[in-house]
A and B are shown apart, each in its own frame.
Chain A
């Protein structure tokens, strides 16, 4: 049978079945911690209670299923460590998502807005926002997401610029971590850790190897590893089994299609 002439809808159907069936079973595979995820975990773990951590929600709604587990583990870790979280978004779509996630996870730890965390919201033109915060965070964000002047949050007045910020985490589905590296790291020496969509890993790899970025925790696999480091099995663990089965199915389809193409070409 020439698989290259197979109706593509049959392949969609196979993938749909392969996605749905594993979800019906409650199986969580064993997760091995990689050096990359360990790096970002260690970077956050090395901070002291009360230290500031800036979390930039640099992703859009389309990639929410992949980014949510990553954002959850980072925020869980930061709240567990009693860090003071400063949230922001450099993609307009990430603005509401970031705030909602921050609020949900803060509730689990009984954290108070304005005392344990603030959300600065969105600023357009990310290059000027990143550069501007190197001089003064309050000048770039005079008000927070709730339209309150930043001065009223006295617990956050110690954060003037990157000099007061031991770590910044970009949770990204696109190329924004590169801009954090270009402008915050290269110009101000700001430590930037990255939790990103798996599709971006190869684009960022040179930056991790050169030490300009820390991490990454990538995709649902990275989130599952991070969950293991935090000592629980959450959404990422549940998805990992399904993900592995789908990957196996795709590998088999690629092999079958190549064999079929080879055989038919010989004929």
Chain B
């Protein structure tokens, strides 16, 4: 058995021990996970952002234009200074403005117009009728400017049934996903660590 397998198995068991009750082995493994993750992210981000997008273009390509975004990025840290915090509004304004400019047309198209068009199915099909009733009653459920009573209340109530179907399906898929992760770890313990399963 390799040292990597041994370390992975010990840490897996330490994390699983939480299922019995909280203990120092679990906490040690948890802290190790947080520390290693932060270290990994930091190295990747320094390498892929600070080095490749700022330091190297300046040092090797004399690409002075990157000074502007670099300075704007550094200005974000002025949030830490009580007197100069207002200056962070400049990069933030740029970020929000550019972000909104890029996102709004794309999202309006992808998340609103395309979805609306996909929900307009021929009404002579069963699925078309179900989609129509589901969309309208669910939207009515989220319409809070009117008391949900009478015929309006019935429609809103119908909407909740569609929502419950959605939550049920989501829960089922979630169980499926999480069980797979458990099976993966168990498979590792039984196969690579203990060698019980071939």
Contacts and interface: CB of A to CB of B under 8 A. Distances in A.
A92 B41 contact: yes
Contact of A206 (B19, B107, B118, B197): B118
Contact of A186 (B37, B44, B106, B187): B106
B68 interface: no
B109 A239 contact: no
Interface stretch (B23-31, B80-88, B145-153, B170-178): B170-178
Interface stretch (A35-43, A71-79, A99-107, A193-201): A193-201
B195 to A, nearest CB: 13
A23 B186 contact: yes
Given A9-B20, A63-B181, A93-B37, 16 more contacts: A19-B179, A19-B183, A24-B196, A63-B177, A65-B183, A92-B48, A186-B106, A199-B173, A201-B173, A202-B170, A210-B115, A220-B180, A239-B184, A239-B187, A243-B176, A250-B179
B181 A66 contact: yes
Interface residues of A, number: 52
A206 B183 CA distance: 29
Nearest to A206: B115
Nearest to A12: B19
B169 interface: yes
Given A23-B190, A122-B44, A182-B110, A198 B176 contact: yes
A165 interface: no
Contacts of A207: 110
B4 to A, nearest CB: 13
A243 B48 contact: no
A212 B110 contact: yes
Interface residues of B, number: 43
A243 B40 CA distance: 32
Contact of A20 (B41, B52, B175, B186): B186
Interface string A214-225: 000011110000
A146 to B, nearest CB: 13
B185 interface: yes
B182 interface: yes
Nearest to A211: B118
Contacts of A243: 176, 179-180, 183
A241 to B, nearest CB: 10
A93 B41 CA distance: 8
Interface string A133-154: 0000000000100000000000
B69 to A, nearest CB: 11
Interface string B187-198: 100100000110
Contacts of A68: 184
B118 A239 contact: no
Contacts of B41: 92-93
A20 B175 CA distance: 17
Interface stretch (A49-57, A110-118, A123-131, A256-264): A123-131
A248 B113 CA distance: 40
Contact of B45 (A24, A124, A210): A124
Interface string A81-111: 0000000000011010000000000000000
Given A24-B197, A199-B173, A124 B183 contact: no
19 contacts: A9-B19, A9-B20, A12-B19, A16-B186, A23-B187, A23-B197, A93-B37, A93-B40, A124-B48, A127-B103, A181-B110, A182-B106, A183-B106, A186-B109, A197-B177, A199-B174, A239-B183, A243-B180, A247-B176
Interface string A246-257: 110010000000
B143 interface: no
B117 interface: yes
Given A19-B182, A124-B45, A198 B118 contact: no
B166 interface: yes
B102 A131 contact: yes
Nearest to B198: A26
Contacts of B79: none
> What 9 pairs between A and B have smallest CB-CB spacing?
A65-B184, A210-B118, A199-B177, A186-B110, A198-B176, A92-B44, A66-B180, A198-B177, A202-B170
